[in-house]
Amino acid sequence: MKQLTDEEIIEALELCVKARCSKNCSYKNIGNANCIKNIIKDSLDLINRQKAEIEKLKEENKIHQELLEHEIGSRIALRVMYDNLSKNIKTAKSEAYKEFAERLCEGKVSNDKTVIEAEVLLKEMVGEK
């Protein structure tokens, strides 16, 4: 017997359900004497194939979802690490500027031109004295 396409099986089943067996029925066209039994069998096969395909797609979707969640988690972790690193760099720079200003002003009085300029520059660079 000729193997019918899924569309031909569905069309034949729809004709049967409407109780309109006709010359358009794919089972009649292939000379099938017991078409109802074969439509039921082929319909069940079609349902089972589609069910298996749905399960396969669900499993693939689950894997993709897990990968996506992992990637999102990784990106969030990288962003947190980057933010922390940026903050640590900014803090280290500020501390280095302060230490430099302290060493530059060491032994000088507060109204010394170098001290005053160092304080102004330090305030501009780090936002504090």
Residues 19-72 have pLDDT tens digits of 666 666 666 655 555 677 778 888 899 999 999 999 999 999 999 999 999 999
What is the rounded average pLDDT of the residues 98-114?
Answer: 90
pTM exceeds 0.95, yes or no: no
For tokens 């330090």, name the residue.
122
C-alpha to C-alpha distance for 120 and 113, rounded to whole angstroms: 11
Determine the Cα angle at 77 with ends 76 and 78, to 5°: 90
How many domains are contained in the chain? Answer: 1
Q: Where is pLDDT greater, at 32 or 125?
A: 125
Boundaries of domain holding 110? 6-126
Q: Where is pLDDT greater, at 2 or 53?
A: 53
* Predicted local confidence at residue 5, as pLDDT: 86
The answer to the question of residue 1 being in a domain is no
The answer to the question of residue 32 being in a domain is yes
C-alpha to C-alpha distance for 61 and 95, rounded to whole angstroms: 50
Q: How many residues does the chain have?
A: 129
* Predicted local confidence at residue 65, as pLDDT: 95
C-alpha to C-alpha distance for 116 and 18, rounded to whole angstroms: 98
Q: For residue 66, what is the enclosing H or E element?
A: helix 35-105
